[in-house]
Amino acid sequence: MNIPKKAGNSLIILAGFLLFVVISIFTGFAPGQRSGLNLLSFLKEMAGVLPPAFILIGLFEVWVKREVIERHLGEESGVKGYFWAFLLAGTMVGGLYVTLPLCYILQKKGASLDILFTFINASAICRIPMTLFEISFLGIPFTVIRYMVSLPLLTLVAILMAKYLKPRNYRFTEGSR
């Protein structure tokens, strides 16, 4: 069996962690036990989010035509493209596990790099559940000010990143297999 070095290193780290958790259970080492419980909680949460999200991404790839993406998120979309990026980012669940595969699909269908970077940035700070949580603790004025500062800055950063990376033919990839 020929396991790539990167995968082999990951398996060694995982095995080491699991051994640490098992030893923690038998010795009563509370931080190790909590680490194991946190891993189980995370895996349970991801098992509930990722399969439906990837099914939706697959359906999106099949059902949404390239022309629609080019019109709304492509090079010629203008300000409308940034609006759609913010709107789409607000509805994201699953963090980068879902955002990056979706960016790959969007780029294949003709989305502009600066709009994709805006989408990635916005999906980190503009999600609706996170915004509601923020409002409940910090208030509406704080959230409005944060959005008024954050959205132009993240858009500017996205444009600058795209200007730097477009001449270098940057592309999102499927990842290594």
Q: What is the pLDDT of residues 102-123, one digit of tens each?
A: 999 999 999 999 999 999 999 9
The owner of tokens 């509930």 is 48
- Tell me the pLDDT tens digit for each residue of 32-51: 999 999 999 999 988 888 88
In this structure, what is the dihedral angle of CA atoms 74, 69, 53, 113, given to the nearest 10 degrees? -10
- Tell me the pLDDT tens digit for each residue of 119-176: 999 998 888 888 899 999 999 999 999 999 999 999 999 999 999 998 888 888 776 4
CA distance 167 to 48: 39
**pTM score, whole prediction:** 0.77
Nearest to 124 by CA among 97, 156, 84, 161: 97
CA distance 104 to 120: 11
Nearest to 69 by CA among 23, 21, 119: 119
CA distance 134 to 130: 6
